[in-house]
Amino acid sequence: MLRLPRSLTIILSHCLLFCFFVSCGNKSQQLQTALSENMSNKNGQSGSGGGNGSASNAPVVRWNANAFPLNIAISDNFTPEESAAAEEVSQEWEQAFDDYHHLFRFSPYAPTPSGYNKFSDFRDGVMGIYKNDRWFPSQYADALAITQFFGHRINPGREDEYIELDHADIILNARYFSFTLDTEYPVYNRYDLKTVVLHEMGHLLGLPHSEDNTTIMAPSITYSTVRNTLSSKDRYNLQKNYPALSVKSFDVEATSEEYLDNSERIVGEEVTGVIEFHEKDYPH
Ligand SMILES: [Zn+2]
């Protein structure tokens, strides 16, 4: 078995990543690029996503409002303190609306699947937050973490087309990086766990990257970045993604009915996506 030095492995993986995102001139378009590159139908055939791959036309990605709260398992290779921190920081998203919404229901200490060798293996019956210390051999070695998601195109080709999620997982790259709750003394290659989890949970809720580096959805951080609260822009972006959850309480009933009315809905092909989170200083 050929074993490459770590630095070379990272460079090679970086090349793959670069090719993956080569059509993307702008980091906020990574979601769209990832989607257009990764869109596949149920037969696993890669496709252009029905010609909807233009970067200026990023699709809305969201859960159905009645999918909440999402059941999320926190892998048992997080310590109890780390697990509690992940739950705690997720409340930032739950408090993003004018009215509190219970978005997540956590079950701690889910067993870590040992035989999972690629992202898609994590699409099992459990949506989880995992720390993977083997990482994936052929790609994304320089990514701190990834969120992968699965869903369907709803109303394909129509102006109101969006992607409705039905499964997502957050996987932290514990092979090449470590994660900490100790933010007092930054250590090279060691990242604030809360910052990473808060960012990835934004993807899990359907949010793309943001160009604005004051937001949690900025596409990269350094080892000294501690950004474990949401900015007003982050909250606004989540509200915009979930109009049915963000209306004032007196409007909720009518809007929810409209939102949940499936009679007009056309369910299109299955879509998968992987969004990665980088260390900032990596030379792209
Ligand atoms: Zn990201």
SS3 state at 86: helix
Cα(207) to centroid(ligand 1), Å:
9
Spell out which residues have Cβ within 5 A of ligand 1, the ion: 275, 277
DSSP state of 113: P
Q: Are 62 and 242 in contact (CB under 8 A)?
A: yes
Question: How many angstroms from the chain centroid is the CA of residue 124?
Answer: 17
Cα(219) to centroid(ligand 1), Å:
5
SS3 content of the chain, % helix, strand, coil (to 5): 30, 25, 45
**For residue 281, what pLDDT is reported?**
60
CA distance 156 to 161: 5
Mean pLDDT by groups of 10 residues along the chain of 284 residues: 37 30 29 38 32 52 95 93 96 92 86 74 88 75 90 93 96 93 89 96 96 92 92 94 73 48 80 85 51
Cα(86) to centroid(ligand 1), Å:
16
Cα(57) to centroid(ligand 1), Å:
18
**For residue 251, what pLDDT is reported?**
46
What are the angstrom distances between the C-alpha of 83 and each of 28, 71, 74, 98, 123? 29, 15, 7, 27, 21
The DSSP string of 171-230 is EEETTT-EEES--SS--TTEEEHHHHHHHHHHHHTT----S-TTSTT-SEE-TT----S-
Q: Does this model's pTM top 0.85?
A: no
Q: Are 68 and 103 in contact (CB under 8 A)?
A: yes
Q: Does domain 6-49+60-279 bear CATH number 1.10.357.10?
A: no
CA distance 224 to 188: 8
Tokens representing 38? Answer: 């990764």
**For residue 57, what pLDDT is reported?**
59
What are the angstrom distances between the C-alpha of 90 and each of 3, 112, 230? 38, 21, 10
Cα(1) to centroid(ligand 1), Å:
33
**For residue 282, what pLDDT is reported?**
55
Domain ranges for the chain, please list them.
6-49+60-279
Q: Are 59 and 149 in contact (CB under 8 A)?
A: no
CA distance 106 to 75: 11
